[in-house]
Structure 1
Amino acid sequence: MSYQKIIEYLGKDADYLLKHTSKTIDKQLLHTPSPDALDQVFQGSNRSIPVLRSLAALHGHGRLADTGFLSILPIDQGIEHTAGASFAKNPIYFDPENIVRLAIEGGCNAVATTFGNLAIVARKYAHKIPFIVKINHNELLTYPTKYEQIMFGAVEDAWNLGAVAVGATIYFGSEGSNRQIIEVAKAFEKAHELGMATILWCYTRNNAFKKDGVNYETAADITGQANHLGVTIQADVIKQKLPDSNGGFTAIDFSKSVPQMYTELATDHPIDLCRYQVANCYMGRIGLINSGGESRGESDLQESVRTAVINKRAGGMGLILGRKAFQRPFDEGIKLLNAVQDVYLAKEIELA
């Protein structure tokens, strides 16, 4: 996809996003994605040689291989959102092989999905694309519905499947967050012992974070702190929703904040809000990948390109995009994944 096509997809926001110069956190302070980023970031860390090999496998596959950027296909919605609701638009994905096929043919760096999905096709595909096993989930059969991440298997099982990484979710701010932090920190420690990389779905979840019609679960200050907690338990990659607001701490009147967070470290521009998330990932030493969000239909491609541009110009490492790709015909899913990857391949799109 040409740079001109990217501009067309951005529409009226093209100049707003492509010509923005960030005057908050200086880009010179960031550790940014590059072909040698793993050497620059992890050579002085405690990560073992097998972990570095796993990270290199993630970074060395697909259309973005050896660029420093990641494009990951995550499909765990069969549990998180029920299989029927997730796959009704495209029932081929009840068959896990099609999940892996979409990641491969879509040029992704890796596929992230459940123990069961990967186990049933592991011998056929583990050597063809890096596996990321999502080890915990929110099961959706409890009534009334609650948001509680629980482990669905052992880290050793992920290693036996040939996975190069494990992924886990913590609902920061939820009733079960203390337990989830302890469980996931132990799981990540074990994964590193076995030589696997770790990816944290760094989500915030609390009904009290919604006030006056604004959902501060995706506010830059709250999600930024969630990211900082995530890197503290040694996640190698942080997955976070793109911020669409700020000032959650002050609006809800909790936690700790100072005025400079909102006046000097961020503005209301989406690239600046995302950069605040990157800064909370040790200034980009730990890569930030933003999620693609739910499918909205015809606007999915444009929205995905927009998210990729914001993430890249903010200093992020890539996108982890699922529903927008698999809730449409197979060939269209490939096209959407490739369009996102083209943003990261476009040399014209630089740090803001």
Structure 2
Amino acid sequence: MSDSIVDLLGENAASLLEHDCKTILREQLHVPGPDFLERIVCNTDRNQRVINNLARIFGHGRLAGTGYVSILPVDQGIEHSAGASFAPNPDYFDPENIVRLAIDGGCNAVASTFGVLGSVSRKYAHRIPFLVKINHNELLSYPNIYDQVMFGSVDRAYDLGAAAVGATIYFGSAESRRQIVEVADAFEHAHELGMATVLWCYLRNSEFKKDKDYHTSADLTGQANHLGVTLQADIIKQKLPTNNGGYNAIKFGKTSPLVYEKLTTDHPIDLCRYQVANCYMGRAGLINSGGASSGASDLAEAVTTAVINKRAGGTGLISGRKAFQRPMVEGIELLNRIQDVYLDNKITVA
């Protein structure tokens, strides 16, 4: 194992690298691997064109042929405002630099907006798989209601050469049921056209904040994942769990004591393992998000997240701000260090 990975994990190295998961066992999972498409996806109802595009994604970049993915997502110009997102590095106001970062950074795919990817599609759509994010929450309307709305059509994503479409649902929000219907229809059409589907399964409800913020609790995010795979998302994007017991804290919905007594512990790998379990035991890949940029600690945080995701049985990382809010050469290095975790055969599924 790379000494640099151990060094970046710091005092948590032994806990993360030596953990033995005894909640949901590795043997119960459908773990990533070079044969994942043949072993899992080819047995589904996905048509051959979807399988071909998934093969493009899993077969591109530094992680090609491993069953793992590293994706660069840059939709923050809408989701967090362009000024807040790109002021730290104005080069990324230019969409071409976003795609170049994904290519030079060895990513499996680049995820962005209709505008970003459409503006350079003829030059780059054949060079790296495009993942078009079709809905967004924009922050210019006042007051903001944190609602995801469609910014374009699945047909348009297909025309610009996308290998996949992505969408967000704010599960738990007042608008979530409308979003579920919209995304279900969009994903069905995307599959008909042969594109893969990726769902950002995020939670959004002020009542999920009690003694702590349960928007990233393992039990609630796990259920969001389960709803996402029910919508036939091929890959689920989820925030790394930071706590548990959201159902018990908000006193709403249904759960079981066994979730907390048997299926999870407080260990971060066990919490993430519960997220994987809710992705049909790994039949749909779980990719965790890299989170906001914190500055000097970004590299250590990204590598830690990658180790937790991999050892939990996840499929990879989707990291944006930590990579593009710095000079390109540093962003490439960060993406490569994340990928090194998935390339290291000594870091195994717990």
Q: TM-score, normalised by structure 2?
A: 0.99
Helix, strand or coil at the partner of 2:63: coil
Matched, 1:120 2:123: no
Q: Distance in 1 between matches of 2:259 and 2:140?
A: 40
Amino acid at match of 1:223: T
Aligned to 2:312: 314
User: Which digits, 9 at most, give the CA deviation of each residue in 1:207-226, with x for residues without a partner?
Assistant: 100002x1101000000000
| CA contact 1:37–1:68 (8 Å) conserved in 2 | yes
Give the corresponding residue for 1:336. Answer: 334
Deviation at 1:44, TM superposition (A): 1.6
Shift of 1:43: 1.8
- Whole-Å separation in 2 of the counterparts to 1:142 and 1:262: 40
Paired residues for 1:293-304 under 5 Å:
293-304=291-302
CA distance, structure 1, for counterparts of residue 17 and residue 175 of structure 2: 40
Identity of aligned residues (%): 68
Aligned match of 1:71: 70
Q: Tell me, which stretches of 5 or more residues in structure 2 are unaligned?
A: none
Report the 3-state secondary structure (helix = DSSP H, G, I; strand = E; otherwise coil) of the residue aligned with 2:237.
strand
Matched to 2:342, the amino acid is: Y
Looking at structure 2, the residues matched to 42 and 200 of structure 1 have their Cα atoms a distance apart, in angstroms, of 17
Amino acid at match of 1:155: V
AA of the residue aligned to 1:33: P
Contact 1:290/1:319 (8 A) holds in 2:
yes
TM-superposed deviation, 1:314 = 0.2
Report the CA distance between 1:139 and its aligned residue: 1.0
Residue 141 of structure 1 is matched in structure 2 by 140
Report what 1:130 is aligned to: 129
Match of 2:182 in 1: 183
- Please give the residue correspondences for 1:31-70 in structure 2 after superposition, counting only pairs within 5 Å: 31-70=30-69
Query: Within 2, Cα distance between the matches of 1:145 and 1:176?
Result: 13
Q: Distance in 2 between matches of 1:125 and 1:257?
A: 46
For 1:241, give the aligned amino acid: K
Corresponding residue for residue 161 of structure 1? 160
**Structure 2 residue matching 1:211: 3-state secondary structure:** coil
Shift of 1:290: 0.2
Structure 1 residue 142, shift from structure 2 partner: 1.2
Q: Secondary structure at 1:238's aligned position in 2?
A: strand
Which position in structure 2 is the counterpart of 1:281?
279
- SS for the counterpart of 1:133 is strand
Q: Distance in 1 between matches of 2:69 and 2:43?
A: 22
Partner of 1:243: 241
What letter is aligned with 1:300? Answer: D
Supply the distance in 1 between the matched residues of 2:74 and 2:145 (Cα, whole angstroms): 21
CA distance in 2, matches of 1:330, 1:13: 29
Cα shift at 1:270: 0.1
SS of 1:82 mapped into structure 2:
helix
Matched, 1:17 2:16: yes
| Over 6 Å off, 4+ runs | none
* Structure 2 Cα separation of the partners of residues 323 and 302 of structure 1: 14
| Structure 1 unpaired stretches of 5+ | none
Q: Are the equivalent residues in 2 in contact too, given 1:292–1:321 (CA < 8 A)?
A: yes
Contact 1:3 1:348 survives alignment (8 Å): no
Aligned residues: 350
Q: 1:223 aligns with which of 205, 221, 224?
A: 221
Shift of 1:145: 1.9
Give the secondary structure class of the aligned counterpart of 2:72: strand
Aligned pairs for 1:196-207 (under 5 A) are 196-207=195-206
Report the 3-state secondary structure (helix = DSSP H, G, I; strand = E; otherwise coil) of the residue aligned with 1:153: coil
RMSD: 0.5
In structure 2, what is the equivalent of residue 258 of structure 1?
256
- State the distance in 1 between where 2:43 and 2:64 align: 23
What is the rounded CA distance, in whole Å, between the counterparts of 1:26 and 1:102 in structure 2?
37
Deviations 1:75-100 (A, max 9, x none): 00000000011000000000000000
- The structural deviation recorded for 1:4 is 1.2
Once residues 18 and 45 of structure 1 are traced to their aligned partners in structure 2, the CA distance between those partners, rounded to angstroms, is 33
1:56 CA drift (Å): 0.2
1:3 aligns with 2:2: yes
Structure 1 Cα separation of the partners of residues 2 and 19 of structure 2: 17
SS of residue matched to 1:43: helix
Question: Which residue pairs with 1:325 in the alignment?
Answer: 323
Tell me the secondary structure at the aligned position of residue 40 of structure 2. helix
- 1:124 aligns to what SS in structure 2? helix
Report the counterpart of residue 102 of structure 2 in structure 1: 103
